[in-house]
């Protein structure tokens, strides 16, 4: 028992004196685990699809196919890489990889590409190519390869069957010949058409503004035809229930909105059997360069609403740019002119209407489209949720700044009861009944703006504005509000000088947290000039533990409840009981945040971004998890769709060059997807070429890919793209060199004198089972002597299902756990959660890994870890932070150690020292954190799947 925590076996209620004793007892007496009866798996779901819009396959004429019929048109036969023409318009794997590497990955300049091709040509000449002036004895044995300035003749011993790329112009021309993914851009001009003032009108009135647009129907066809989406798309609206019978909201098509839209479409019997395809769109301004005149672009992105949320967040063509909106600019003199402001908003909505126009005729009558499974289907489109931050939501909804775009709550009383939801019908009625002044002052409506959705069927912009986790919750409520308010409180409570000292120490605390896979380090705390969304998300993971001790208990609770609320709504699957808990946590957050008013930090908390949290529960019921509808999706696309193409341009008239680059990128991506599906991208360029020359037909090698994943010693964590599978943990496959192999010499090398005895007792328990806790200690001489060799590993990879993770389409995640004596110049010994069935923390105990090792014994390969235990100090989490607090377990003043099999490790754990009120030394290094403190917080916010994992256990 440690601080009132009994190590009690959950199966037989036996009390043990230590966590090591409990581990031995369970291993001995309760080793076998009985699997759940068939049909009782807690991960099973029941699903009810919409009864009328059933997404039935059809032929090219729209006639429904009989059940189990194959696709109306068979896909082309699979390629095998043997025929060079299969690489068309490229002539080989080498040519395609060259284009992919230089144009997509390196974004090489034209001059650098020419240099690389010149070197390539020289290598051809050296190993088989000769100048044209050389006349071979037998010309038929050679094939002439023309280039710009010189021709080459390959030698017969190294046959080159076709020409190589000649120069940058040839490379670009080859990319332009790709037919797959061809989504051209068109440019439209818009202009002010109102009355011009007398004299010389302002330039903005006479200027023509360009809007570049792709055909949205073609974009959706391209996305629907993507076979990679076959396992990550829902072609029908559905309602899902878990094993307990609770409703589950996950992807957009699981929400009430998709079902309701399907009901409306199905009122026309001619649409029965169709599929409903909503369009998720998003737009957000982005700056590519401040130095060259604050250069901005305003892209619009589109995605299939049928895709799962994780698939939309994953890389690929799930989200594509479909428009670049014009950004009018004028002098300061005219910026506040109501006519100019009205024109800007009207042009904005006219441009969005232009984007959706190709779909309008197919929003009530079906379009015939090929789907990821190869079948044709009749689909009816609809305008789906729109992703935007608050300033853009104001423009989209046609409301006044500081009002809510979803309800009519007054700006100074946003969270008061009685507010009603805005609707398209209500807004139209109010505009017909009241003059513009009343609409502006009493309802927050701009009478001079008609949202673009009003000209399309079944579209209500107030309903379609989706929750925005990034700007409303992470960058808004957390960074802009709570973090700023904490600093303001410190100044009020302690004065500016002392507050700055405390803030400086908080920064040191943030910099002192131990490493963890995927956790960004803050070497200087949170004191940096420009915050990004990633900065805010990273700071959230470590902030609570850093400020605990410096701020009042109620303020800590306010931060803790907000964090729990944020992580709860960021899950990919949210159940009906989860929504009840979200409502309760939101109420507690509203209660605790009043401390900022009571202490004089705030006069009120009527803020649009915090108010938006009230709409999250109904929005989740409508649209599913906010994960798949967050502006972080569009922001992440800015890099590939805007910033990198801009950097590749000459900066002059850059947009036209950017559009060409985007088209080429999409073509290369589509072609690569096709090649990959046929096994033609397996291995490196040289290894693939060697296999083809040997007559092999390359295939995707899942085993090799998995091995490469384990071998990637530099990758701490990441998503695993693929289907959901069983969780597992494995040591890195390659043992480390330089370690002694024998038991005694290895113990001396790692400075762990107790290791041989622990090892031998581990072997005894393998042979005879663990002794009872109250029996005499087995003499060490009775334990087996191990004459074999021991291999040391510096890491293990845990692979598990993490539905709250934001990347992998299948929900699988990998995490590397390290025990390395010299990781970037210091010893890194990670901490993990081990399942031993303890009474606290739902059977989990924290351990620090001192050594990963493997050995053979009795014909079995053992993968093990030498660990120190850290045990809970109480039988419940800390009442203020809500985090468990643990301390190193000690016997006789020495930290206890044990040997465990790595299979008992659930996953990594992240600890933050309980700092109290004592400042850290200026030179404190984070690598000392796990040795420096008496107690530690078990940080559930280190990543999203950890929070979900611990929350579900409790």
What pLDDT, on a 0 to 100 scale, did the predictor assign at position 37? Answer: 37
Query: At how many degrees (to 10) do helices 168-176 and 110-126 cross?
Result: 100
Residue 30 in this model has a pLDDT that exceeds 80: no
Scanning 641-684, the segments in alpha helix (DSSP H) are 644-648, 654-677
pLDDT at 151: 38
- The pLDDT of residue 439 is above 90: yes
pLDDT band at residue 593 using 50, 70 and 90 as cut-offs: very high
3-state secondary structure 203-216: HHHHCEEEEEEECH
Q: Say whether pLDDT at 744 is over 80.
A: yes
- Whether the pLDDT of residue 157 is over 60: the answer is no
- Identify the residue with better confidence: 772 or 908: 908
**Which stretch of 252-256, 436-440, 692-696, 755-759 has the lowest confidence by average pLDDT?**
692-696
Answer yes or no: is pLDDT of 652 > 90.
no
Q: Are 192 and 343 in contact (CB under 8 A)?
A: yes
pLDDT value for 38 = 37
Percent of the chain with pLDDT over 90: 60
pLDDT at 613 over 90: yes
In this predicted model, what pLDDT tens digit does every residue of 810-843 receive, in sequence order?
556 788 999 999 998 999 999 999 887 655 566 6
Characterize 346-366 residue by residue with b for buried, 16 or more Cβ atoms within 10 angstroms of its Cβ, and e for exposed.
Answer: bbbbebbbbbbbbbeebbbeb
**What's residue 79's pLDDT?**
58
Residue 535 has pLDDT above 50, yes or no: yes
What was the pLDDT predicted at 949?
A: 62
- Give the pLDDT confidence score for residue 235 in this predicted structure: 96
Lowest mean pLDDT among 360-364, 385-389, 548-552, 630-634: 630-634
Model confidence at 528: pLDDT above 50: no
Mean pLDDT over 430-437 rounds to 94
Residue 111 sits at φ, ψ, to 5 deg, of: -65, -40
Q: What is the mean pLDDT of residues 424-452?
A: 95
Strand (E) or helix (H) holding 828: strand 826-829
Question: How many angstroms separate the CA atoms of 443 and 426, rounded?
Answer: 11
Averaged pLDDT, 745-757: 95
Angstrom distances, CA of residue 662 to CA of 105, 110, 646: 14, 17, 10
**Cα 407 from Cα 829, distance rounded (Å):** 51
Stretch 29-40: mean pLDDT, rounded? 40
- Residue 77's pLDDT band (cuts 50, 70, 90): low
Contacts 24+ apart (CB under 8 A), 46-49: 46/240, 46/241, 46/242, 47/238, 47/239, 47/240, 47/241, 48/238, 48/239, 48/240, 48/241, 49/236, 49/237, 49/238
Cα 786 to the center of its chain, rounded Å: 46
Is the model's pLDDT at 369 over the cut of 70?
yes
What pLDDT, on a 0 to 100 scale, did the predictor assign at position 36? 36
Confidence of residue 513 (pLDDT cuts 50, 70, 90): very high
501 pLDDT exceeds 50? yes
Q: In terms of pLDDT, which residue wins out, 171 or 80?
A: 171
Q: Is the pLDDT of residue 135 over 90?
A: no
For residue 140, pLDDT over 70 is answered with no
So what's the pLDDT on residue 728? Answer: 80
Instruction: Kindly state the tokens that stand for 404.
Output: 């809510």
How many Å is the Cα radius of gyration of the chain?
A: 32
Position 120 confidence tier, pLDDT thresholds 50, 70, 90: confident
For the chain, the average pLDDT equals 85
What phi and psi, each to the nearest 5 degrees, are found at residue 719? Answer: -80, 155
- pLDDT above 50 for 440: yes
Which of 122-136, 292-306, 466-480 comes out lowest in average pLDDT?
A: 122-136
**pLDDT at residue 454 is higher than 80:** yes
Please tell me the distance from the alpha carbon of residue 24 to that of residue 784, in angstroms, as a whole number: 17
Confirm if 248 and 241 have CB atoms less than 8 A apart.
Answer: yes
**Least confident span in 509-518, 617-626, 713-722, 899-908:** 713-722
**330 or 862, higher pLDDT:** 862
Output the pLDDT for position 34: 35
Angle between helices 553-569 and 576-592 (to 10 degrees): 150
**Average pLDDT, stretch 170-185?**
92
Burial class (CB in 10 A: 0-12, 13-18, 19+), 566: buried
Which uninterrupted H or E stretch holds 731?
strand 728-731
Across 141-155, 283-297, 334-348, least confident range? 141-155
Helix (H) / strand (E) element for 289: namely strand 286-289
pTM of the model: 0.86
Is the pLDDT confidence value at 704 over 50?
A: no
Q: What are phi and psi of 642, to 5 degrees?
A: -130, -60
Examine the pLDDT at 163 and tell me if it is beyond 80. no
Q: Which of 81-90, 206-215, 328-337, 434-443 has the lowest mean pLDDT?
A: 81-90
Judged by average pLDDT, the poorest of 96-100, 515-519, 807-811, 896-900 is 807-811
CA distance 707 to 473: 39
Q: What is the full DSSP assignment across 361-428?
A: GGTTS-EEEE-TTS-EEEEEEEEEEEE--HHHHHHHHTB-TTS-SSB---GGGTT-TT--B--HHHHH
CB atoms within 10 A of CB 338: 8
Q: How distant, in Å, are the alpha carbons of 49, 335, 456 from that of 262?
A: 11, 44, 16
Q: Mean per-residue pLDDT for 569-576? A: 90
2, two tokens: 């440690």
CA distance 253 to 304: 11
Predicted confidence band of residue 71 (pLDDT cuts 50, 70, 90): confident
- In contact, 720 and 814? CB cutoff 8 Å: yes
Lowest mean pLDDT of 118-132, 165-179, 327-341, 625-639, name the range.
118-132
Residue 39: what pLDDT?
37
Q: Phi and psi at residue 475, in whole multiples of 5°? A: -80, -25
């Amino acid at each position: 028992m440690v601080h009132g925590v009994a190590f009690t076996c959950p199966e037989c209620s036996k009390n043990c004196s230590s966590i090591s004793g409990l581990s031995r007892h369970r291993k001995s007496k309760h080793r076998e685990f009985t699997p759940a009866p068939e049909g009782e798996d807690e991960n099973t779901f029941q699903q009810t699809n919409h009864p009328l819009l059933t997404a039935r396959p059809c032929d090219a004429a729209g006639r429904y196919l009989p059940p189990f019929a194959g696709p109306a048109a068979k896909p082309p036969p699979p390629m095998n890489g043997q025929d060079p023409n299969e690489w068309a318009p490229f002539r080989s794997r080498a040519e395609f990889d060259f284009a992919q590497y230089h144009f997509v990955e390196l974004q090489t300049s034209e001059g650098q590409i020419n240099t690389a091709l010149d070197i390539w040509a020289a290598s051809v000449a050296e190993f088989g190519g000769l100048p044209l002036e050389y006349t071979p004895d037998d010309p038929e044995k050679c094939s002439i390869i023309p280039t710009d300035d010189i021709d080459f003749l390959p030698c017969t011993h190294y046959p080159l069957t076709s020409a190589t790329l000649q120069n940058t112009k040839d490379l670009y021309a080859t990319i332009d010949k790709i037919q797959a993914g061809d989504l051209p851009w068109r440019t439209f001009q818009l202009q002010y058409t109102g009355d011009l003032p007398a004299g010389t009108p302002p330039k903005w009135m006479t200027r023509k503004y360009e809007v570049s647009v792709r055909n949205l129907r073609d974009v959706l066809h391209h996305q629907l035809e993507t076979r990679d989406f076959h396992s990550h798309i829902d072609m029908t609206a559905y309602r899902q229930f878990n094993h307990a019978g609770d409703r589950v909201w996950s992807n957009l098509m699981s929400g009430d909105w998709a079902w309701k839209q399907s009901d409306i479409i199905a009122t026309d019997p001619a649409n029965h059997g169709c599929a409903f395809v909503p369009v998720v769109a998003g737009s957000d301004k982005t700056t590519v360069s401040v130095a060259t005149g604050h250069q901005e672009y305003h892209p619009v992105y589109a995605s299939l609403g049928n895709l799962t949320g994780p698939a939309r967040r994953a890389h690929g063509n799930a989200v594509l740019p479909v428009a670049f909106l014009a950004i009018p600019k004028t002098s300061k003199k005219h910026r506040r002119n109501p006519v100019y402001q009205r024109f800007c908003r009207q042009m904005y909505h006219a441009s969005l209407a232009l984007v959706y126009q190709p779909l309008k005729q197919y929003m009530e009558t079906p379009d015939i489209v090929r789907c990821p499974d190869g079948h044709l289907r009749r689909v009816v489109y609809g305008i789906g949720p729109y992703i935007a931050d608050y300033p853009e939501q104001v423009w989209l909804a046609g409301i006044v700044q500081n009002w809510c775009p979803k309800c009519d709550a007054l700006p100074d009383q946003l969270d008061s009861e009685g507010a009603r939801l805005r609707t398209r019908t209500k807004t139209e009625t109010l505009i017909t009944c009241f003059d513009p002044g009343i609409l502006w002052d009493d309802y927050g409506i701009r009478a001079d703006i008609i949202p673009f959705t009003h000209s399309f069927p079944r579209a209500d912009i107030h309903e379609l504005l989706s929750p925005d986790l990034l700007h409303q919750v992470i960058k808004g409520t957390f960074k802009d509000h709570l973090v700023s308010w904490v600093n303001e409180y410190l100044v009020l409570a302690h004065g500016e000088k002392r507050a700055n000292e405390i803030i400086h120490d908080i920064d040191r605390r943030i910099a002192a947290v131990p490493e963890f896979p995927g956790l960004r380090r803050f070497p200087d705390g949170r004191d940096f000039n420009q915050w990004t969304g990633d900065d805010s998300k990273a700071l959230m993971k470590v902030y609570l533990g850093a400020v605990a001790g410096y701020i009042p208990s109620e303020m800590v609770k306010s931060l803790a409840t907000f964090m729990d609320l944020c992580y709860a709504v960021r899950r990919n699957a949210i159940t009906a009981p989860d929504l009840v808990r979200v409502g309760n946590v939101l109420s507690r957050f509203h209660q605790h945040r009043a401390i900022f008013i009571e202490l004089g930090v705030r006069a009120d908390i009527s803020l649009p971004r915090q108010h938006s949290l009230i709409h999250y529960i109904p929005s989740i019921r409508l649209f599913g998890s906010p994960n798949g509808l967050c502006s972080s999706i569009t922001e992440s696309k800015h890099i590939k769709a805007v910033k990198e193409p801009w950097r590749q341009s000459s900066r002059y008239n850059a947009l036209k060059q950017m559009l060409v680059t985007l088209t080429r990128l999409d073509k290369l991506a589509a072609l690569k997807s096709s090649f990959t599906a046929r096994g033609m991208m397996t291995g490196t360029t040289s290894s693939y070429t060697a296999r083809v020359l040997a007559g092999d037909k390359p295939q995707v090698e899942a085993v090799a890919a998995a091995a490469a994943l384990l071998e990637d010693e530099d990758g701490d964590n990441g998503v695993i793209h693929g289907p959901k599978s069983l969780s597992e943990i494995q040591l890195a496959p390659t043992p480390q060199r330089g370690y002694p192999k024998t038991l005694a010499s290895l113990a001396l090398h790692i400075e762990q004198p107790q290791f041989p005895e622990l090892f031998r007792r581990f072997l005894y328990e393998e042979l005879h089972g663990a002794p009872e806790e109250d029996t005499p200690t087995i003499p060490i001489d009775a334990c087996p002597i191990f004459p074999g060799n021991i291999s040391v590993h510096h890491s293990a990879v845990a692979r598990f299902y993490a539905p709250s993770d934001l990347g992998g389409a299948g929900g699988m995640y990998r995490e590397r756990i390290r025990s390395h004596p010299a990781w970037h110049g210091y010893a890194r010994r990670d901490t993990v959660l081990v399942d031993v069935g303890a009474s606290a923390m739902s059977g989990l105990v924290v351990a620090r890994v001192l050594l990963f090792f493997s050995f053979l014994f009795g014909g079995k390969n053992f993968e093990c870890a030498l660990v120190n235990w850290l045990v809970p100090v109480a039988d419940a989490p800390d009442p203020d932070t809500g985090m468990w607090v643990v301390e190193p377990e000690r016997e006789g003043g020495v930290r206890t150690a044990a040997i465990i099999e790595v299979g008992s490790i659930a996953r990594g754990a992240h600890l933050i020292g309980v700092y109290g009120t004592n400042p850290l030394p200026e030179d404190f290094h984070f690598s000392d954190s796990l040795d420096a403190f008496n107690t530690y917080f078990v940080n559930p916010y280190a990543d999203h799947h950890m929070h979900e994992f611990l929350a579900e256990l409790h």
